Amino acid sequence: MKDHRRECGVEKGTRHAILCRFRATTYASLDQMKSQKEIRVAMISLGTPFNRSINKWVRGSLYQRGIRRVAEFSFKLEQEEFVAWKPDAVVAHIHNERIRDLVRSLGVPAINSSKFKEDPGLPTVSPDNVAMGRQAAEHLLESGYQHFAYSGRLTSSFSKLRLQGFRDALSPESQLSVYSDPHPNYGQLQRQGADPNLEAYQHWLRSLPSPTGILAEDDHSGMSLLETLNQMNLQPGADIGVISGHDLQVSTYSALTTIPVPFERWGEEAAKLLLHMLASGSLEAEDVFFLPGRVRRGDSTCFVGSQDPAIREAIQFIQVHAHLDISVDHVADAVKIPKRTLQRKFKQELERSISSLIRTAHIERAKQILGESHASLHEIARSSGLSNQHRLIRVFKEVEGLTPGEYRQQHGNSK
């Protein structure tokens, strides 16, 4: 079998990596390719926990499909060493032109496993960042916040896309404040050290109306934001609600509400696309964007955006008891207010009924179980306060526009 590596260019104006096609005869299938040579896959990593999580699942998925020769290279790699290893395919976290140009110069199937650059020059596998921003906005709206802000540097494509989705999900009348200046460093804040960016950041936070729901671009930004609020004696959730973009898969700050990224899905999709390119002998492929996980609620959004203590207590009761078959009467009894008075408060302040909020809480819990387990519909109904699977299917379809089974196919655990 001939070596298919060669240097080749990119057609100007194309969105995907259209480098060249193999000139020699392509492999009829991946199995035929594996029978004729040992396939080598190189992974270029930033070395961060986030990047290592992706590569872990890429490696595992490749191993399951019989690809055993996988090597990880630092983004500081020496070009001669990398080229000398002669990879047959590459998975790279493209964050600068040097890495992009080096990978493209090999002329082998290669994919980008990030959405850091707007046009990485390679087929990309990434979470749908617009959907993530939209999901964050919907969560804050459901929690009752009426003022909104975004905290992110906007130096990367993923941050801009999350802001786009966040803005699109809000009503045209909503006021959205965006802070894109340099942010305080979380580690520096924890050590109580001086941070040159802290004063400007605190000034921005003080300018926001209370309560405001903020989407932080990622968990580092979210944790810095919570630490800053603590130093300002502002209450996360009540004064400022905070939800962050992707989850670091660590319990560093369990109070933070996050939208977790399914790293296992990320790795599997990256491996699947790479193997498809290897088997077809093509360097062209469409980008693959998959939906993020469901909101993982922490204390940072557990209070509703209302100054009325009765409404806050009512919503907290609903959220805590979403697994039970609760009614408006149960909520009114819990906050010790006549039912009609509480209903009027909800209509006046939130423009929502208590029953609609209860229904939403039930469905959010059902969605979480659907996405994270293989529980039967009967078990999910009992665990989400909907009494039986027929009621679960009916209410789920009314709220989400699709059945629980269809939702599980789109969002569920792939295992």
Same domain, 98 and 243: no
Backbone angles phi, psi at 139, to 5 degrees: -65, -45
Answer yes or no: is 68 within a domain: yes
What's residue 285's pLDDT?
92
Domain of 138, in residue numbers: 129-261+295-300
Same domain, 172 and 118: no
Same domain, 121 and 155: no
What's residue 277's pLDDT?
92
Which 3-state string (H, E, C) describes the chain? CCCCCCCCCCCCCCCCCCCCCCCCCCCCCHHHHHHHCCCEEEEEECCCHHHHHHHHHHHHHHHHCCCCEEEEEECCCCHHHHHHHCCCEEEECCCCHHHHHHHHHHCCCEEECCCCCCCCCCCEEEECHHHHHHHHHHHHHHCCCCEEEEECCCCCHHHHHHHHHHHHHCCCCCCEEEECCCCCCHHHHHCCCCCCCHHHHHHHHHHCCCCEEEEECCHHHHHHHHHHHHHCCCCECCCEEEEECCCCCCCCCCCCEECCCCHHHHHHHHHHHHHHHHHHCCCCCCCEEECCCCCECCHHHCCCCCCCHHHHHHHHHHHHCCCCCCCHHHHHHHHCCCHHHHHHHHHHHHCCCHHHHHHHHHHHHHHHHHHHCCCCHHHHHHHCCCCCHHHHHHHHHHHHCCCHHHHHHHHCCCC
What's residue 193's pLDDT?
57
Q: How many CB atoms lie within 10 A of CB 343?
A: 17
Same domain, 278 and 313: no
Answer yes or no: is 10 within a domain: no
Q: How far is CA 276 from the centre of its chain?
A: 25
Answer yes or no: is 23 within a domain: no
In the predicted model, residues of the chain with pLDDT beneath 70 are 1-37, 186-194, 247-254, 303-306, 411-415
Q: Determine the Cα–Cα distance for residues 125 and 189; give it in Å rounded to an integer.
A: 34
Same domain, 384 and 268: no
Same domain, 134 and 226: yes
Answer yes or no: is 7 within a domain: no
What's residue 3's pLDDT?
36
CATH number of the domain at 178, please. 3.40.50.2300
The total number of structural domains that make up the chain: 3
Furthest-apart CA atoms within the chain: distance in Å = 81
Answer yes or no: is 152 within a domain: yes
What's residue 390's pLDDT?
94
Same domain, 255 and 276: no
Same domain, 43 and 109: yes
Same domain, 224 and 148: yes
Same domain, 194 and 47: no
Which of 242, 274, 300 terminates a domain? The answer is: 300
Answer yes or no: is 11 within a domain: no
Same domain, 200 and 278: no
Answer yes or no: is 22 within a domain: no
- Tens-digit pLDDT profile for residues 175-223: 899 999 887 776 555 555 567 888 899 999 999 998 899 999 998 889 8
Same domain, 133 and 250: yes
Answer yes or no: is 18 within a domain: no
